[in-house]
Structure 1
Amino acid sequence: MSFIEMTGATLRRALHEDELLGDEFQRAHVSDDTIVRVNHEGDVEVRRPRGWEVVGGLLGGFEERIRQETGLDWA
Structure 2
Amino acid sequence: MRKFTSVVVAAAMALVAMEAVVGAPARAAAPQEYVALGDSYASGVGAFPYDSASGACLRSPRSYPRLLASSVGGYT
TM-score (norm 1): 0.24
Q: Which has the larger radius of gyration?
A: 2
More helix by share: 2
Per chain length, whose mean CA-contact separation is higher, i.e. which structure has more relative contact order (CA < 8 Å, sep 6+)? Answer: 1
Normalising by structure 2, report the TM-score.
0.24
